[in-house]
Structure 1
């Protein structure tokens, strides 16, 4: 379908949800004036309420009523726009019909998923169709997993520019201030329920190359643990603990490498950890985070304890207050080694609660990048990642939006 027949450049699907409203507000304030934007969701009344609360420019945007369970409404939605941004999760529950509709229509797509099983199912379902229609289906365009994905991409770019060889090892230390929303918890819950119901899915989730487009072509070299013991790592000498998002982000980075013909390096070893501080206090915090994360994941894995946690964890549609979002921040420090022996350090950081304020920037700019920067994007379609779909063009946008992306020799 030609772009001339589409009435919108970007549609935010799930605009009445917590994160969807944040993305819509970001676009209302920062999208170029000539970009045609619409809001979509299941309830016309809720869409009206969301629109009234947007910055002035967004209060005149068209509204589209669509439901992931209604094929006709989905088809009408995706054929009306060049890019669909969706925050409707858990994606394993609601996302596959949306991805499929976009792939068939040749509509570019971006989401916020952090669900290994959903991305695996989506890539198997739509990759060939999307390549045939030219649709870029881009998963994980928020804190899951843009800082990780683009940070490693940046290290690769600099090593290539310096003729320093391939990357052999990259370690990322994440530090942040922010909260969790009910939507994030709901996605974690959905994946835990699926793994609990089918032991074979546990093997998929724990496979470090679970999202590879060609699992048989991957290196047999062992990858670092997703949940290492506390220790000191990284150029800043911090105590570290397991990072809750590592088991997802690492798969996205490895998928990006494979989608680019393993340009980073066939034997690249990649690991993410969470920084907890220096000195004795950092060591105590690392031990506490390690124990707490283990208990939380164990509790989410079993029905009886999961139902108890449901009573105390945030409900879907909730999240940090505006004041909490404003006080948040994130920083990723990456240390990269190359086959030539040269080393690099990269920093990816930004203001605002990482999962919400900063994520709204990342997802909003991803949508604008797909809609406006086609001449700068790799000639690649199908089931993609932020780095493989948008790479340098998205880094440039995020820098202008106030995020930091730097790399230098170590």
Structure 2
């Protein structure tokens, strides 16, 4: 059988089924199918999402594939040009899918926000992926398209040399008083966070193997803000952002430095809250969550009672559609650097004067967990299929900024109702 363009794997999971819903519009010009462990569940999901999208999806090609059956993964991978993998947590279920895709010569994208998984995949499979001409790109959802492609957008519009970028994430709801349920995350995302924190100490060893040589330091060095502070950029009380954005961005910046001789951008990420009280409560919760995740008994409690330990924000059923449709995100990015008139001869040269130029941009979108994320994931897949001539020519395991910096991914994201908007706020 002729290969399909795209197969959505894990299509009956929470993220998977909303990816199928968005595929009706994002993949409308491509041949796509779905894959999962159970045919009846796949059929039920297609009926549900078809009704939601007002489109008959009953003839959508279906594939039975299970991470515990490597032959089924190989068969799935051989049946398409790119696998869109929504089956997490990826530390448990991702590697076998990546391996099957590479050996089948099939591209792979996912929405992982798990640095250990992403960097392990790069360490183990980058060379083989390059040999096979395959792109494996993780973090193609809310973690970390806004930050990584946001910095790509910053550099394209800066007209000079960027030294550093600070990101300030604000999440909100259009109708905060609406009765749309408390839950904001599904259980799979919570599970990924629990195990990611539990094994955070793995990262040092992985990075020592992945990057035996450190990047040179570029001055001035971007300093960390205080642990809790009021940001004039977004008028919110901010804490350090605990997600994978910074690790993903720094991998992209290293890649672009090593392959394009581009001065790497320094970056710190923050998340904003409406008051000191809310930010303090979140900081306290995060501390308790981090401590509990370090011990087996603590992890058992976190996973058994997600609603209790998240104040009702996480549930096994996931958020209601009413809640998802009302949520949005805005990521404000403050870039500082030097105008083009002060550009140095070599990217490794050091500036002796402090930065004099500032650019403020914003990346925003609706329903970050399951709307913008699903559109971004599918848009990344579309971009690999259509713009591969603008990507690093050898293939490989890489983050979005490295893979898509010269492509039309940003304009693809801006096409769709649940996509993302990139805009300039101020240029000084």
Instruction: Please say whether Structure 1 and Structure 2 have the same fold, judged by a TM-score greater than 0.5.
Output: yes
Question: How far apart are 1:148 and its partner, in Å?
Answer: 0.7
Distance 1:113 1:27 in 2: 19
Matches for 1:179-194 after TM superposition, within 5 Å: 179-194=184-199
* Aligned partner (choices 233, 250, 254) of residue 250 of structure 2: 254
Contact kept? 2:26, 2:379, Cα under 8 Å: no
Q: Which position in structure 2 is the counterpart of 1:63?
A: 62
- 1:64 alignment partner, SS class: strand
1:143: which partner in 2? 142
Aligned to 1:272: 269
| 2:177 counterpart residue number | none
Separation (CA, whole Å) in 2 of partners of 1:257 and 1:70: 37
> Structure 1 segments of 4 or more deviating over 6 A?
none
Counterpart selection for 1:394 from 409, 412, 417: 409
What corresponds to 2:276 in structure 1?
283
Q: TM-score, with normalisation over the residues of structure 1?
A: 0.87
Worse-matched range after superposition: 283-292 or 89-98: 283-292
Name the CA distance, whole Å, in 2 between partners of 1:355 and 1:212. Answer: 32
Q: 1:37-64 CA deviation, whole Å, 9 max, x = no partner? A: 1100111221121122222243211110
CA distance in 1, matches of 2:3, 2:265: 44
Greater CA deviation, 177-186 or 265-274?
A: 265-274
- Which stretch of structure 1 is more off in the superposition, 296-305 or 69-78? 296-305
Could you say which residue in structure 1 is the equivalent of 2:202? Answer: 201
Deviates more, 1:178-187 or 1:92-101: 178-187
Deviation (angstroms), 1:228: 4.9
Aligned residue for 2:8?
Answer: 12
Q: CA deviation at 1:235?
A: 2.2
Take 2:172 and 2:35, find their aligned partners in 1: how far apart are those partners? 31
Q: Report how far residue 105 of structure 1 moved.
A: 2.0
Aligned to 1:357: 371
Q: Deviations over 1:49-105 (max 9, x none)?
A: 112222224321111001122221111111111010001111111111111111222
Map 1:323-362; keep pairs closer than 5 Å.
Answer: 323-340=322-339, 341-352=356-367, 354-362=368-376
| Helix, strand or coil at the partner of 1:383 | strand
Shift of 1:192: 3.6
Q: Is the 8 A contact 2:194 2:302 kept in 1?
A: no
**From 40, 43, 57, the counterpart of 1:45:** 40
Tell me by how many angstroms 1:339 deviates: 3.7
Pairwise mapping of residues 154-193 of structure 1 onto structure 2 (< 5 A)? Answer: 154-159=153-158, 162=159, 164-165=160-161, 167-177=162-172, 179-193=184-198
Question: 1:366 corresponds to which residue?
Answer: 380
- Mapping for residues 95-244 of structure 1, pairs under 5 Å: 95-159=94-158, 162=159, 164-165=160-161, 167-177=162-172, 179-195=184-200, 201=202, 203-204=204-205, 210=207, 214-220=211-217, 228-233=226-231, 235-244=233-242
Q: Contact 1:174–1:274 at 8 Å: present in 2 too?
A: yes
The residue aligned with 2:311 is none
- Choose which of 287, 292, 297 in structure 2 pairs with 1:299: 292
2:57 match: secondary structure: helix
Q: Which runs of 5+ in 2 are unaligned?
A: 174-183, 308-313, 340-355
- How many aligned positions are there? 385
Give structure 1 stretches of 5+ with no counterpart: none
Q: 2:352 maps to what in 1?
A: none
Q: State the TM-score, normalized to the length of structure 2.
A: 0.83
Cα RMSD, aligned residues only: 2.4
Range 375-384 or range 333-342, more displaced:
375-384
